[in-house]
A and B are shown apart, each in its own frame.
Chain A
Amino acid sequence: MSDVTIDDSAAGAIASAQDEVADERLVYQGVFQRLFIRPEVGATLAAASIWIFFWAVSGPFGLTGGASTILDVSSTLGIMAVAVSMLMIGGEFDLSAGAATGALGIVTLLLVRDITGDMGGAGLSLWVALPLSFIVAMGLGWFNGTMVNRTSLPSFIVTLGSFFIIVGAKLGFAKLLVDQIQVGKLDDLAIAADDRGGDKGYAFFDRIFGAEWDRNSHIWEARDAFYTIAIVAGLVLLFVGLHELYFRRRKERGLVSLAGVLPGVAVLIAGILILHNTDDTGGNALGAAVIGAAMLVGSVGLCAMRYSRHPGIGSLGSSAPMLKALGAGVVAVALAVVAALSFDPAVDEDITFLVTEQGLRAILFVGLSMIGAVLLLVGQSRARSISRLTGSVVLALIGIGVAAMAFFIRAESASPKFRGQVFSIMLAVAAAIVVWSIATTLFEERRFIDARADRFGQSVAIAGILAMVVGVTIRMLWVTQVELDRGIPPAKFSVRIIWFFVFTAACTWVLARTKFGSWVFAVGGNKDAARQIGVPAARTKTQLFMLVSGAAWLVGVLLAFRLNTIQANTGDGEEFEYIIAAVVGGTMLTGGYGSTFGAAIGAVIMAMAIQGLPSSRWNSDWRFVFLGAILLLSVIANNYIRSKAEAIR
């Protein structure tokens, strides 16, 4: 960040002076608009809402155990979804990807399986078998890609062919070679190690592909302190970054002016200490109030030091569309309140085939409140277009409404989850909304592109998000003795989650930053143009198919180390789940547009649906209804976002 400090203010002044006259045909887009046109943002918001929904209606879902299961399920799905989304951005499909995961696991198992035991198996060491099966995977991808390129047939048809070939071959070879429809067992290698004098690399590779982290055997007493520090630091950074992106910097101000946030941070620490030292709900309210004050002090302090005041705030006004949206929002929230009041909090019985009484109550309340919140926000944006003051007043009223709802929830709910956590979080959100409404009334929004401020604000905000991720990770990976004594259910994190994260990060980097990534977008967006200009279109597509089959190899090996035995039908039909995850994550079915990060989020959404339904005591047969609905909703939402994106940019 040194380049920002060097004469930051002077350069900023010159830059902004230029920027304001630069191009009259470019309308400046505020930070929120620019955020929402990114393909992965919709998916991230959807993931957050779905998580909140299941967290509210289900007991075990929100615990660390639930999170580890979601991550576990999403990791293999996600590795494939990320690879498939790259292929889809490149304009092709691979219907054989699901069946290939099982097939490549089986190939690996057949290669290591002992000849001496039952029938079949090559009895190779894993050191040889893994590279060999990887070569098979590359061959499969090369075959798919070359067939698509040479025949110019739609990849849908070509890979449908290879799908059936793989399905048949899996069954045929399994029966032929081992006389069963399943192939195993990998851990025989370890068991038979003594007879043979060596486990053929099993112990080594089991650490890479099969290791697990058992949370309950990792005790760290200082965990909560680190967690709190990380979360607070993250929130402060995010807060500062948001201000930097949103407000217009006063020309003479350098980095020192960021210190304006410090008094707020001091008050914030006081608020957190209050929260820490009290456990009852009264203390929560006091802590939340102090944290709210901290935000106010921090925000106004920062703005006063760094950003320019707004010359005029306009006068109050109203319009029919605004009142309509706000009215509808209030009605929805009121319905939510009525729905909540019409159930008895003390009763918790199964009332229908699907839900318990409290579950239904939570669904109605959370669902209606969310609808109300969206309508109110629509109303707020309409109010803001009338005048700054109107927007701010409406926003502040919404904030006060959120606070009122928080107290309502505390009074009406029986569960400690709602009385404690939901109450405090909602109060904090209410405080943030009110503070934001005050800050945006008094200080001026930046209405021109300032590359320096954008870069600085983005870096700070991303640092904040990373700090929070670190905090949550610390909390998920370690336990404290107190928790153990209370009998916290165990949670295990598999190494496959790391594979998932690393693979997603690598693919995202490749797509955004490398030649190959550019070519992927190009062959998907306009293949003929790409070829005319010298992009090796056929080679790029073949490499994409090989990426997908390489991912299938990874997933197959992960499955083999997890299950030891692989069924002949493993993975069959899952290719559609990969495609759904990619589409949910904002990837366009017609190619040329999309996001690998979004696909990873899409996989998490699907894993939540798969896990959330049974843990909310719903029969998991319903998950396909849920998945179908998510697919349709997200396609509509993504289409809308993209049309906005194209209109804006």
Chain B
Amino acid sequence: MSDTPLLELEDIGKFYGNIIALQGVTTEVQAGKVTCVLGDNGAGKSTFIKILAGVHQHDAGEFRLEGKPVTFDSPRQALDNGIAAVYQDLAMVPLMSVWRNFFLGAEPTKGVWPLQWIDKAKAKAIAKEEMAKMGIDIRDTEQAVGTLSGGERQSVAIARAVYFGAKVLILDEPTSALGVKQSGVVLRYIVEAAKRGLGVIFITHNPRHAYPVGDRFLILNRGESMGNFAKDEITIDELTQLMAGGAELEELQDELKRAISGDD
């Protein structure tokens, strides 16, 4: 394997009419590493992943996949190139069973066209096995996804992306709706996925979730890059400060301090 990163982004920009959604974003994703994208609400994180996943196309800068400049016209094309996005809404159908969701769009079949049917036994066995690799014991793969807990759903989505040969896994706020324990479980999957050689892009607004698992940090604010750091270039406190817009946060801290001491 060469040193060429899986994904490289240079000065990426995106405009909606006269609105600048994203500007001057540069970062890279290495195989087996986790790149965290941090930003508050409205920072441009969604636009950023949509460009990577082929939902939108970038209007400026260069997007290189394994060294070659690319533009994806559709999510399908991004997927075919090994870039799988796990969205906040998880891209799952709640009323459908775990194994159907796992294989949705790529069901293993038996028989000859036009008489082809889903190889149900195989699909169920694989779904169960892949989930087990993620450390989740799904007892009944016929269970509807809507009845799983948030962390379990994330794990289904991640296991699915890994199974279908994703090289780059984009996780959109996987921990935002979860409790402390569940978040920990999901963070473990992220490390697990990176260990298996995937490049992971972990999008979050929580530096406490990002710092322990991340190897590289891209911070966005109001559509602009606030910096792109390797882990040894930044501490968690600096990360937090940058993310919330530095000065603003200090001001807030001072204000809070005054308010608290005033109470005494």
Chain A residues close to B by CB (< 8 Å): 22-23, 26, 449, 509, 513-515, 518-519, 521-522, 525-526, 528-535, 592-593, 646, 649
B126 within 8 A of A: no
Is B92 an interface position by the 8 A CB rule? yes
Bound-complex Cα distance A22 to B138 (A): 10
A535, B96: Cβ atoms closer than 8 Å: no
Given A513-B118, A515-B109, are A529 and B92 neighbors across the interface (CB < 8 Å)? yes
Q: Given A23, A526, A649, which contacts B93 in the complex, CB threshold below 8 Å?
A: A526
| Docked complex: B124-169 residues within 8 A CB-CB of A | 137, 139-140, 142-144, 146-147
Contact with A along B65-80 (1 / 0, CB 8 A): 0000000000110010
Interface size class of B (residues with CB under 8 A): 20 to 34
Chain B 46-88 per-residue mask, 1 if CB under 8 angstroms from chain A, else 0: 0000000001000000000000000000011001000001010
Known: A23-B139, A449-B140. A530 touches B105 (CB 8 A): yes
A521 contacts B116, C-beta separation under 8 Å: no
Q: How far is the CA of A646 from the CA of B97 in the complex (A)?
A: 11
Q: Is the CB of B105 within 8 A of A533?
A: yes
Residues of the B chain whose Cβ atoms lie less than 8 Å from the Cβ of A509: 117
Interface of B, helix, strand, loop or mixed by DSSP: loop
Known: A26-B140, A518-B107. A513 touches B120 (CB 8 A): yes
For the complex, is B260 an interface residue (Cβ under 8 Å from A)?
no
The one of B85, B93, B139, B147 that contacts A22, using a Cβ cutoff of 8 Å: B139
Which residue of chain A has its CB nearest to the CB of B75?
A: A532
Is B230 close to A, CB under 8 A? no
With contacts A515-B118, A593-B95 known, is A529 near B89, CB below 8 A?
yes
Taken residue by residue from 103 to 120, chain B's Cβ proximity to chain A (1 for < 8 Å, 0 otherwise) reads as 111110100000011101
Shortest Cβ-Cβ A-B pairs, 3 listed: A525-B93, A534-B105, A23-B139
Interface residues of B (CB under 8 A from A): 55, 75-76, 79, 85, 87, 89-96, 100, 103-107, 109, 116-118, 120, 137, 139-140, 142-144, 146-147
Contact between chains at B100 and A26 (CB < 8 Å): no
Residues of chain A within 8 A (CB-CB) of B96 are 518, 521-522, 525, 592
20 more A-B contacts (CB under 8 A) besides A23-B137, A526-B91, A526-B94? A26-B139, A26-B140, A515-B107, A515-B118, A518-B96, A518-B104, A518-B118, A519-B104, A519-B105, A522-B93, A525-B95, A526-B93, A528-B91, A529-B92, A532-B91, A534-B75, A534-B105, A534-B106, A592-B93, A593-B95
Q: 5 A-B contacts, Cβ less than 8 Å apart?
A: A449-B140, A509-B117, A530-B105, A533-B104, A592-B96
Q: Measured between alpha carbons, how far is A22 from B100 in the docked complex, in Å?
A: 22
Interface pair B146/A514, CB less than 8 Å apart: no
Contact B79 A526 (CB under 8 A): no
Residues on the A chain within 8 Å of B85, using CB: 532
A531, B89: Cα distance in complex, Å: 13
Residue of B85, B87, B106, B117 ringed by the most chain A CB atoms within 10 A: B117
Q: What residues on B are CB-neighbors of A23 within 8 Å?
A: 137, 139
User: Which residues of chain B are within 8 angstroms of A531 by Cβ–Cβ distance?
Assistant: 75
Q: Is A521 a contact partner of B93 (Cβ separation < 8 A)?
A: yes
- The answer to whether B146 touches A646, judged by C-beta atoms less than 8 angstroms apart, is yes
Q: Tell which of B79, B93, B144 touches A534, judged by Cβ atoms closer than 8 Å.
A: B79
Set A528, A534, A649: member contacting B76, Cβ < 8 A: A534
- A509 vs B87: C-alpha distance in the bound complex, in angstroms? 32
* Chain A nearest Cβ from B158, distance in angstroms: 13
Contact present for B144 and A529 (CB under 8 Å): no
